[in-house]
Amino acid sequence: MTLILHEHPLSSFCWKAKVALYDMGVPFEARLVELHDEASRAAHYARWPIGKMPVLEDTARGRVVPETSVIVEYAQTFHAPSAGMIPADPEAALRVRLLDRVFDSYVMEPMSRIVAENFRGGEDPVGVAQADALLAKSYDWLAGELAGRTWAAGEAFTLADCAAAPSLHYADKVLPFRATHPALGGYLDRLEARPSFARVLEEAQPVMHMFPGRKAA
């Protein structure tokens, strides 16, 4: 296998990369990174000293590619040039990249902060309240921005949707939005029904019990 995705099946950013790779039809091997295992952790930090996941290794080209959005763009550029994850049209590409950043920075990040706080013991109520407020603001903006669209940036499934899928799936577990933002909930339904994301969710089922969610009130 030319492409190896070093990942963990519970990681939201790893989900983003896998959705894109599955949707583009790019073959790859998913290889588990076990940070609690000294050898696995050392090997991963040797690949990418920052230590974040996922990391894509292209053995045929001798490349190691970190950062999820860059992984998707790399895979399209060198392995699926007609995929359209990032449109050729400059204006459309900018819209996709903006939404990608919104989902990563203003949905995924505050969701992760809430989950991490629960994992640490829940001793930062101010930080959690700030994360909740940012999520609520993001839900409001996204509900208006995505109105009337099948997918995040229009009628084509793109990088923005790959970012949206794990972001919204996990965010709905820590600050549910289906009742308050039904259009956003409908969009999440479409994402979860997409074969590429449905496959990722199925693969994650054996470890989903490990997701800590948010601290009970």
pLDDT of residue 62: 96
What whole-number distance in Å separates Cα of residue 142 and Cα of residue 160? 12
What whole-number distance in Å separates Cα of residue 131 and Cα of residue 19? 26
- Asked whether residue 214 carries a pLDDT value surpassing 90, the answer given is no
One domain for residues 57 and 115: no
- Asked whether residue 11 carries a pLDDT value surpassing 70, the answer given is yes
pLDDT of residue 216: 66
Look at strands 29-32 and 3-7 and give their pairing: parallel
Q: At what angle do helices 68-79 and 159-174 cross, to 10 degrees?
A: 150
pLDDT of residue 217: 59
pLDDT of residue 213: 72
Q: What percent of the chain has pLDDT over 90?
A: 86
One domain for residues 94 and 171: yes
Residue 212 lies in a domain: no
- Asked whether residue 208 carries a pLDDT value surpassing 90, the answer given is no
- Among the three residues 59, 79, 99, which one is the final residue of a domain in this structure? 79
- Among the three residues 40, 55, 79, which one is the final residue of a domain in this structure? 79
Domain count of the fold of the chain: 2
Average pLDDT, the chain: 94
CATH number at residue 45: 3.40.30.10
| pLDDT single digits (tens) 133-164 | 999 999 999 999 999 999 999 999 999 999 99
pLDDT band at 127 (very low <50, low <70, confident <90, very high): confident
Is 28 in contact with 1 (CB distance < 8 Å)?
yes
What whole-number distance in Å separates Cα of residue 208 and Cα of residue 94? 34
pLDDT of residue 215: 66
- pTM metric for this prediction: 0.94
Is 22 in contact with 200 (CB distance < 8 Å)?
yes
- Asked whether residue 119 carries a pLDDT value surpassing 90, the answer given is no
pLDDT of residue 90: 97
